[in-house]
Amino acid sequence: MLIGVVGDTHDQTKNVERIVDLFNQARVERVVHTGDITGPAVLEQFSRLEVPMLGVFGNNDRAKRDQLEAQAGRFGMDFAPPPRTFHWAGRQILVVHDPEEAPAALPAGIDLVLHGHTHRHRHEMRGATLFFNPGECAGFLSGQNAVGVVDLVALEAHRLRF
């Protein structure tokens, strides 16, 4: 199972158009947003995804949280406060916005921790757990933006740059 990972879109609808195209072309089965959507227009752009979107809210989502929840509901998206756990393809996944929201001692069985907040790429194994943040996607420098794709069966992640 392939999942798309994106975070910190910060209301950059132009970049989100490209992100949606990348995920649709990669044929991911779900997209996880790690927070800091920032504005409801971003979720309208994400409604073009061919797969379900779910995720967590970030610190920059507080001001428009009610609008974001309404827009997510309108498009059948599933967002909630962090931390969230999911069980897909035999893997336990923990999703947070800020990596500091992940407990220092992870619950047993967590295979993958997804986060945003730092805008920095992270691909780190801690024991049997993969910590992954695809990095910046809301920047204005072409070729420096990235989203992630994670193969849950192989527990491998890579970035799609744009």
Residue 63 is predicted with a pLDDT of: 97
Q: What are phi and psi of 128, to 5 degrees?
A: -95, 10
Q: Is 63 helix (H, G, I), strand (E, B) or coil?
A: helix
pLDDT digits (tens, 9 = 90+) for 97-139: 999 999 989 999 999 999 999 999 999 999 999 999 999 999 8
Residue 141 is predicted with a pLDDT of: 73
Residue 143 is predicted with a pLDDT of: 82
pLDDT digits (tens, 9 = 90+) for 49-88: 999 999 999 999 999 999 999 999 999 999 999 999 999 9
Number of H helices, E strands in the chain: 3, 11
* Residue 140: band (very low, low, confident or very high) from pLDDT cuts 50, 70, 90: confident
User: What sign has the CA pseudo-torsion 112, 105, 9, 65?
Assistant: positive
Query: Token pair of 83, please?
Result: 């931390």
> Checking phi first, is residue 154 left (phi over 0); if not, alpha (psi -120 to 50) or beta?
alpha
Question: CA 83 to CA 33: how far, in whole Å?
Answer: 12
Question: CA 115 to CA 145: how far, in whole Å?
Answer: 16
- The amino acid at 77: M
Which domains, from first to last, does the chain contain?
Answer: 2-161 (3.60.21.10)
